A and B are shown apart, each in its own frame.
Chain A
């Protein structure tokens, strides 16, 4: 049970880090999109 809990915790950490990275990427893409849109306008 302890091992499974450790595994779960590790998995959770990994997924959380991935989540954070995705959020950052999304914000960057949004910024670039807005910049390009203003440039087009």
Chain B
């Protein structure tokens, strides 16, 4: 209600002529005065309601502005995230650590939750549908990237005595055991190792006895070493570290899920002891024996020779099977 039009001049004219003093005030003046008194009582309420209305209008406008800004920020965020995903897809090698990736996924999911949950109170809730579809896409993309990373997996089969339950496979690298687990599909436990050069070297190894053949131990390698093989570094060693069983061919990681190599060598301890016995008993054979050993170590260090030998052996096995 607008009372401004009905505003009446309530100023009292005190310039009274002498002849007017004794006159009675007209009725309309009396009524106007009475009305003005009532108006004064109700004007604070009107003022407060007016102020409330103004405040409400102001806050609503601010709300609208904030909503606009929020939708714009979310759009920018989604654009940036898509750009990041594309970049990571193009450059998988230069990818960041998995922990940061998970963090970005959490951030995106929290953003989508904010958009979906916080807009039920009265603000436009149209963004919830688009955010949910974006979330699905974002969930799929990191999984694809992880599978690309995990594709560098190789398997190596080692011969091990059934009595030996240590699950320690000596492949020339040094490992640290960080876990052991019994799986449902295999009664023998599975041991988890990581390279001793961790965290710089991210290679992990899982060792488990084969279900089909208990004398065979399967070692699954994930990742690539970013350091040379210790046997290559130790060129002058007399064979103390070569006690370890090197597979005939090195497990070459590839984009395929797994490559299989077989190590049919017996434990080197027994071989060394037998070779030492040979040397003690036959000193005349010492020199050629040393040469033979040197040839053997140099050939085993040669990766190409190992690969060729593995191919030949696998070819023979296929013929036999």
Contact = CB atoms under 8 A, between A and B. Distances in A.
Contacts of A16: 59
Contacts of B48: 5
B66 A8 contact: no
A32 B77 contact: yes
A26 B49 contact: no
Contacts of B114: 25, 28-29
B49 A40 contact: no
Contacts of A33: 73, 76-77, 80
A15 B49 contact: no
Contacts of A37: 80
Task: For chain A, give the interface size range.
Answer: 20 to 34
Interface stretch (B115-123, B176-184, B225-233): B115-123
Contacts of B103: 35, 39
B84 A26 contact: no
Interface in A10-27: 11-12, 14-16, 18-19, 21-23, 25-26
Contact of A40 (B70, B73, B83): B83
Count chain A CB atoms within 10 A of each CB in B73, B87, B110, B121 and give the residue with the most: B73
Contacts of A5: 45, 48-49, 52
Contact of A39 (B45, B60, B100, B110): B100
A36 B77 CA distance: 8
Interface in B33-81: 42, 45-46, 48-49, 52-53, 55-56, 59-60, 62-63, 66-67, 69-70, 73-74, 76-77, 80-81
Contacts of B299: none
B290 interface: no
B104 interface: yes
B111 interface: yes
B55 A12 contact: yes
A26 B87 contact: no
Contacts of B59: 12, 15-16, 19
Given A4-B49, A5-B48, A36-B80, A22 B70 contact: yes
B6 interface: no
A35 B103 CA distance: 10
Nearest to B100: A39
Contact of B49 (A1, A25, A32, A36): A1
